């Protein structure tokens, strides 16, 4: 039997190590604060693509509303940062609320006085939302395209509500906290290496967690239910629980990405809930390769990199080309660039032939579709 090096578990970990080593070199070699900030933002997109690949590529749960968890996380962080520049005695109410004729701080804003609580809520609320929504849908055995549509509907609902609740969210204008995030004595200046390293750490952590998840028994069952949920049920597993968990873990990662996004841009608006943004997340993962965590991240880097390289004047044409490219990938290359690499590596002369002595228990290297 030929062995495709793409499927070699050890080589996969090596590829991940090289990837993250290269990313670690960036702030050492780069001396441009603006570019560093932009690259950090790409890192945030990478986390998003990774989170979607985990849920969609492995679990078969297409989430068209990944922007919900991202946006909730981003708003949570923005509220925390906003409250850091308010003073409980002299100036307790953010300016935009005063403009909207609010006379006291709304209840939902109160916990954000405390930075720790605020950061906790920024992760906890989106994760909890995913748990509740996921449990509702998956217990009713809503899956596949229907689930995708329901996520889209919820996204649309969040978008309208965040615009509508102007006194609490500042509507379409969004929230722009005046000062960078401060955690204890650490100031997270968006244009500093500090913020790059935070994003780097979150990306690294998410990737390792995701990779371990896919290799655990849990991950195997998630992949199995992607193949045939009914069969898994007849083996005694509660498929809804597995679906809900993978969906919520993916949402939790997206929330972390949203929080990073806010301290990088010091700005959040309902456009995080815009359908267009969630489409982008799907496009990153699809072009990179939904079945591969690493390639999904690369997909985000490549697409967003090309977009910023081409600049704003080409934006409309670029989106058109991207749309065509996306259609072509879905039609001819469902595995994305990762699928292409897998194909090419499989055609290479058999490099790792017969590493094992015959008679040894065969290790299922062909088992891993992921990289």
Give the footprint of other proteins on residues 217-246 (CB under 8 A). 217-218, 220-221, 223-224, 226-228, 230-239, 241-242, 245
Q: Residue 88 Cβ, how far from other proteins at the closest point, in Å?
A: 31
**C-alpha 128: how far from chain center:** 16
Q: Residue 303 Cβ, how far from other proteins at the closest point, in Å?
A: 13
> In what helix (H) or strand (E) does residue 183 lie, and over which residues does it extend?
strand 181-183
Within a 13 Å sphere around the CA of 357, how many CA atoms are in the beta-carbon half? 2
User: Token digits for 298?
Assistant: 């690369």
| Residue (184 or 311) nearer to other proteins, CB | 311
Site for other proteins contains 309 (CB under 8 A): no
Number of residues that bind other proteins (CB under 8 A): 75
Pick from 93, 131, 149, 204: which binds other proteins (CB under 8 A)? 149
The Cα–Cα gap between 275 and 66 comes to: 10
Please name the residue that has the structure tokens 């989170």: 51
Site for other proteins contains 307 (CB under 8 A): no
Pick from 213, 256, 293, 294: which binds other proteins (CB under 8 A)? 213
User: Token digits for 360?
Assistant: 């040894």
Contacts of residue 51, Cβ cutoff 8 Å, sequence gap at least 6: 66, 69, 206, 210, 250, 251, 253, 254, 257
Site for other proteins contains 293 (CB under 8 A): no
Kindly indicate which of the ranges 112-120, 301-309, 343-351, 358-366 contains the residues binding other proteins, using the contact rule CB under 8 A.
358-366
Cα 210 to Cα 47, 207, 225, 334, distances in angstroms? 11, 5, 17, 21
| Residue (238 or 308) nearer to other proteins, CB | 238
Site for other proteins contains 334 (CB under 8 A): yes
Contacts of residue 319, Cβ cutoff 8 Å, sequence gap at least 6: none
Could you say which residues in the range 32-71 bind other proteins, by CB under 8 A?
60, 62, 64
Could you say which residues in the range 260-279 bind other proteins, by CB under 8 A?
275, 279
Q: Mask: binding to other proteins, 79-118, rule CB under 8 A, as x and -?
A: ----------------------------------------
Site for other proteins contains 345 (CB under 8 A): no
| Residue (310 or 327) nearer to other proteins, CB | 327
The Cα–Cα gap between 166 and 274 comes to: 17
Site for other proteins contains 350 (CB under 8 A): no
Q: Outline where the chain has alpha helix (H).
A: 9-29, 33-52, 66-84, 95-99, 115-139, 144-164, 166-169, 193-215, 217-227, 229-234, 239-265, 275-288, 293-310, 315-332, 336-347
Site for other proteins contains 160 (CB under 8 A): yes
Q: Residue 361 Cβ, how far from other proteins at the closest point, in Å?
A: 8
| Residue (80 or 226) nearer to other proteins, CB | 226
């Amino acid at each position: 039997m030929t062995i495709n090096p793409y499927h070699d578990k050890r080589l996969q970990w090596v590829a991940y190590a090289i990837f993250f080593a290269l990313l670690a070199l960036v702030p050492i070699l780069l001396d441009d604060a603006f570019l560093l900030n932009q690259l950090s933002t790409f890192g945030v997109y990478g986390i998003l693509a990774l989170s979607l690949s985990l849920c969609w590529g492995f679990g078969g749960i297409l989430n068209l509303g990944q922007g919900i968890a991202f946006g909730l996380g981003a708003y949570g962080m923005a509220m925390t940062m906003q409250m850091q520049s308010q003073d409980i005695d002299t100036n307790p109410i953010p300016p935009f609320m005063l403009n909207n004729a609010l006379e006291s701080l709304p209840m939902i804003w109160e916990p954000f006085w405390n930075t720790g609580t605020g950061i906790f809520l920024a992760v906890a609320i989106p994760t909890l939302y995913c748990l509740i929504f996921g449990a509702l849908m998956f217990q009713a055995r809503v899956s596949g395209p229907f689930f995708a549509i329901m996520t889209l509907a919820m996204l649309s609902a969040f978008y309208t509500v965040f615009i509508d609740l102007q006194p609490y969210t500042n509507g379409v204008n969004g929230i722009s906290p005046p000062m960078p995030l401060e955690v204890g004595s650490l100031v997270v200046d968006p244009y500093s290496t500090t913020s790059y390293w935070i994003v780097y750490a979150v990306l690294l952590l998410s990737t390792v967690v995701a990779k371990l998840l896919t290799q655990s028994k849990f991950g195997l069952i998630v992949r199995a239910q992607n193949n045939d949920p009914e069969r898994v049920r007849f083996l005694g597993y509660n498929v809804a629980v597995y679906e809900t968990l993978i969906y919520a873990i993916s949402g939790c990662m997206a929330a972390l990405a949203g929080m990073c996004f806010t301290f990088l841009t010091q700005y959040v608006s309902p456009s995080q809930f815009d359908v267009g943004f969630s489409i982008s997340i799907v496009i990153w993962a699809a072009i990179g390769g939904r079945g591969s965590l690493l390639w999904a991240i690369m997909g985000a880097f490549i697409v967003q990199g090309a977009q910023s390289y081409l600049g704003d004047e080409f934006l409309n044409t670029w989106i058109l080309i991207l749309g065509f490219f996306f259609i072509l990938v879905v039609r001819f290359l469902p595995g994305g660039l990762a699928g292409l690499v897998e194909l090419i590596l499989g055609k290479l002369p058999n490099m790792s032939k017969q590493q094992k002595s015959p008679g040894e228990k065969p290790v299922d290297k062909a088992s891993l579709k992921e990289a």
